[in-house]
Amino acid sequence: MKIAFLGLGAIGAPMAAHLVGRFDLTVWNRTASKAAEFSATHGGAVAATPCLAVTDAPVVITCFPTSREVEALLDGAEGVLAGMQSGATLVDCTSGDPASSRRIATRLAELGLGFVDAPVSGGVVGALSGTLTVMCGGNEATYVRVLPVLQAFGKKIVHVGPVGAGHALKAVNNALLAVHIWSTAEGLAALVKAGVKPTVALDVINASSGRSNSSEHLIPLRVVSRAFPRTFRLALLEKDIAIAADFLREQRVPSLIIQQAAELFRLARLELGEAADHVEAVKIVERWGDVVISD
């Protein structure tokens, strides 16, 4: 079965690599050299346009920064809709926004095309090992049809509700990630100033009730080590928290902490720039507290 994968970014490329050999893969990327490099390294055909990539593919996967890029690629002579055949399904692995997903799904349905929002969690490491969590929004029958494709790169794959539910859940998850990163950094900054080593503090927290993925993995491996690898852009996390904040507002849930996190990560991105990694937000906490979270 032919699968088209559009968007070979930091997470898209390792996800697409798992499809090679299992399916007849065709890739497209805005910067064509990255698609050529992907094909030379992993295999798969390269298409010159989104339209050519998706032609004859029952399943088309997109993985772009935001829903805006997904919507923009639908139209035009070289766009996705010019190539998709009736009965095919667009699986959007972008961490997008629920309202855009519902709009896209409605347009596609009018053309006899299916849509599933299927954002992923687990980072580049999870993408490389094919163990991503995939949260899917869409109708049950469409979800079941695309499940074998998602199993190539996902380990925990869950149908969470109608179109948009996957994107809503992903946004809430990432808002929690942001709150954990920032609040753990604040607590550690104070402890370091009081003379407690961060490795000692984290050792205790990680055996106690305040632990999280941030305290167990991100802060020890990326902050205390001062490695700060760039795997998931701060700008993308900022986008996710903003989606979560909007979603909570729409649902009329008071959301002081998530709104605050959205603002803090917006300030961090303004300070640190578009290329900064999400965990580098800790550098702002350090700057404000005049302290470095390191032994």
Stretch that binds ligand NDP, among 98-106, 190-198, 232-240, 243-251 (CB under 6 A): 232-240
**CA atoms lying within 13 Å on the CB side of residue 227:** 10
Other C-beta atoms within 10 Å of 205: how many? Answer: 21
Q: Decide: is 100 part of the binding site for ligand NDP (CB under 6 A).
A: no
Q: Decide: is 236 part of the binding site for ligand NDP (CB under 6 A).
A: yes
Name the nearest CA neighbour of 65 among 29, 32, 39, 37: 29
From 74, 81, 124, 272, residue interacting with ligand NDP (rule: CB under 6 A): 124
From 20, 27, 63, 185, residue interacting with ligand NDP (rule: CB under 6 A): 63
Q: Decide: is 231 part of the binding site for ligand NDP (CB under 6 A).
A: yes
Give the pair of three-digit tokens for residue 293.
Answer: 């979270």
- Helical ranges in the chain per DSSP H: 12-17, 32-42, 50-54, 67-72, 80-83, 98-110, 123-129, 140-150, 165-193, 198-205, 213, 234-250, 256-272, 282-289
Query: How many angstroms separate the CA atoms of 228 and 226, rounded?
Result: 6
Fill in the per-residue mask, 102 to 121: x = in contact with ligand NDP (CB under 6 A), - = not in contact: ------------------xx
Give the pair of three-digit tokens for residue 39.
Answer: 């094909």
In the complex, minimum distance from the CB of residue 10 to ligand NDP, in angstroms, rounded to a whole number: 3
Given a contact cutoff of 8 angstroms between Cβ atoms, the answer to whether 17 and 35 are in contact is: no
Other C-beta atoms within 10 Å of 86: how many? Answer: 7
As a whole number of angstroms, the longest Cα–Cα distance in the chain is 65
Q: Decide: is 8 part of the binding site for ligand NDP (CB under 6 A).
A: yes
Catalytic residue at 170? yes
Q: Decide: is 147 part of the binding site for ligand NDP (CB under 6 A).
A: no
Give the pair of three-digit tokens for residue 206.
Answer: 């990680």
Q: Decide: is 7 part of the binding site for ligand NDP (CB under 6 A).
A: yes
In the complex, minimum distance from the CB of residue 285 to ligand NDP, in angstroms, rounded to a whole number: 21
Beta strand 132-137 with 120-121 is antiparallel
In the complex, minimum distance from the CB of residue 241 to ligand NDP, in angstroms, rounded to a whole number: 11
Tell me which residue has its CB nearest to ligand NDP. Answer: 9
In the complex, minimum distance from the CB of residue 289 to ligand NDP, in angstroms, rounded to a whole number: 27
Subset of 70-99 contacting ligand NDP (CB under 6 A): 94-95
In the complex, the residues that contact ligand NDP under the rule CB under 6 A are 7-12, 29-31, 34, 63-65, 69, 94-95, 120-121, 123-124, 231-233, 236
For the annotated catalytic residues, the residue numbers are 170
